[in-house]
Amino acid sequence: RMWQIVVVGEHMANMAGLADDLHRRFDLPTGVRQRRFQKPFTSGVAAVDEVLTGGFPRAALSEVTGAPSSNRTSLAISTAVAACRAGECCAWIDGCGTFDPESAAAAGLEFQRLVWINCHGQAEHAVKATDLLLHRGGFGLMVLDLADFPEHTVRRISMTSWWRLRHAAEENGTALIVITSRSQTPSCSTVCLELSREKSIWRGKLLRGIRSLLETHKHSSGRRASFESIV
């Protein structure tokens, strides 16, 4: 079973109450500040973990950017799969309503440990929902997916909001991954990964996967890796 919350229009006012209800129903752990000292979250992709020196850091905001079909969502799902298998509670804040449960299930995602919040194209609501859940605490990993919004929409999110999300992640030991089409959080993200599509991998006339090039912008010299997703 997966917890799905739909956040649209007037329902946004009830998000605070929904967040409290989640803690009662979802049995979220308390006292999680010590998580910042635990190991990073593996992405499930060896080449990516090597670039990140172990994985996505806890108590931090990380940004994954890239065009469509660059494996940006696949990488976040792979990380969520690994986190759920490790016993963590996770949340996926779906800004544009593009999360595909069937694809996630095929990748091995454990829905009983995932809360899916569908914001149906409301970027402001997505940020607010993320903020509320981060401040309630209890989630080891949270993904804020803003990748399918027009760039000008995401750019309207204030730097104050980004810093608030970062501080909330730090306070509660949560690894927050933000997915965007182009970097929006350079000054407050601990990790910034840019993905680009290298080539499509075909088996006859069937698409087998996509090879992506990953580059990090948070190291002085930059670090690169290639990896593939399997369709």
pLDDT in tens, 44-58: 999 999 999 999 999
Give which of 61, 56, 59 is closest to 40, Cα–Cα: 56
Residue 215 banded pLDDT, cuts 50, 70, 90:
very high
Distance CA 210, CA 196 (A): 10
Tell me which of 119-123, 132-136, 166-170, 221-225 is least confident.
221-225
Cβ neighbour number for residue 40 with a 10 Å cutoff: 18
**CB-CB neighbours of 46 under 10 Å:** 11
- Measured CA to CA, the distance from residue 103 to residue 182 in angstroms comes to 24
* Contact yes or no for 111/1 (Cβ under 8 A): yes
Distance CA 49, CA 72 (A): 15
- From residue 187, alpha-carbon distances to 51, 134, 183, 191, 217 in Å are 20, 20, 10, 10, 11
Statement: residue 187 has pLDDT above 50: yes
Place of tokens 């752990």: 29
Query: Is 101:111 a contact under the CB 8 Å cutoff?
Result: yes
pTM (predicted TM-score):
0.87
Instruction: Judge whether residue 134 has pLDDT over 80.
Output: yes
Q: How confident is the model at residue 171 (pLDDT cuts 50, 70, 90)?
A: very high
Residue 74 has pLDDT above 90, yes or no: yes
For residue 97, give the DSSP letter.
S
